[in-house]
Structure 1
Amino acid sequence: MSLQVVTANRLDDGLAVFMTADDGWSTDIGDAVCATDATQAEVLLARANTAAQQVTVVGAYLIDVAKVDGALVPTKYREVLRTLGPSVRTDLGYQAG
């Protein structure tokens, strides 16, 4: 199994966020807590799908990541785009900052 992290969309602004070790959420994938096996991944996903979490985020799911030069990066193109923000308006999202 590859490494996995939990991602979701934050309700107040719609940005892609990643679950942190303290059950918080960060827009930086580098802050994400990483599961190394299927059991850990399912525990993380269950923690992300509690009623308390669903007032902050929506649509939590697991994504595959890899460590590249010590940094976590998504392995699927769709998830790479989600970490960058809208691809049609470069004045919006993370790339505008």
Structure 2
Amino acid sequence: MVDKVLTANRLTDGVAVWLNAAGQWTTSLQEAIVARHAEAVDALEQIGKQSYADNKVVDVNVVEVKETNGVIWPLRLRERIRAEGPTMEYAANYRAADPEFIAV
């Protein structure tokens, strides 16, 4: 089985967030809890459904990741961009994503 994390967008501002081990939504992918078996993925999905029902987040998804040397890497480019930010500088306080992190 491929490792997975739970991601969503915060309802208040649309920022990408990930569920951490404390059950909180964090803006850092590296703080996300990683599900390594089917039962853990099922638990993440249930938490996501409840967070959606509680109007905390929208667009809840379980996404595939791999962990290398303690760094969580989403397998899909879309998720790497969501984790790191935009691919170019476009506004104050928004830095461009690390090109090595989002490289295919």
TM-score range, shorter chain: 0.7 to 0.9
Aligned twin of 1:26: 26
Percent same amino acid among aligned pairs? 32
Q: Is the 8 A contact 2:51 2:57 kept in 1?
A: no
Q: CA deviation at 1:94?
A: 4.9
CA distance in 1, matches of 2:53, 2:25: 10
* Deviation by residue 1:2-40 (Cα, 9 ceiling, x = unmatched): 110000001111111000112111111111111001221
Structure showing greater relative contact order (alpha-carbon pairs closer than 8 Å, 6 or more residues apart): 1
Spell out the pairing of 1:4-43 with structure 2 (5 A cutoff).
4-43=4-43
RMSD of equivalent CA atoms: 2.0
Q: CA deviation at 1:82?
A: 0.9
Q: CA deviation at 1:65?
A: 0.7
Alignment of 1:85 with 2:80, yes or no, is no
* Deviation by residue 1:25-58 (Cα, 9 ceiling, x = unmatched): 1111111111001221011110121157642211
User: Which amino acid counterpart does residue 38 of structure 1 have in structure 2?
Assistant: A
CA distance in 1, matches of 2:52, 2:8: 14
Alignment of 1:55 with 2:45, yes or no, is no
Counting matched residue pairs gives 95
Q: Which runs of 5+ in 1 are unaligned?
A: none
Q: Is the 8 A contact 1:23 1:48 kept in 2?
A: no
Q: Which runs of 5+ in 2 are unaligned?
A: 97-104
Q: Is the 8 A contact 2:3 2:36 kept in 1?
A: yes
CA distance in 1, matches of 2:94, 2:3: 24
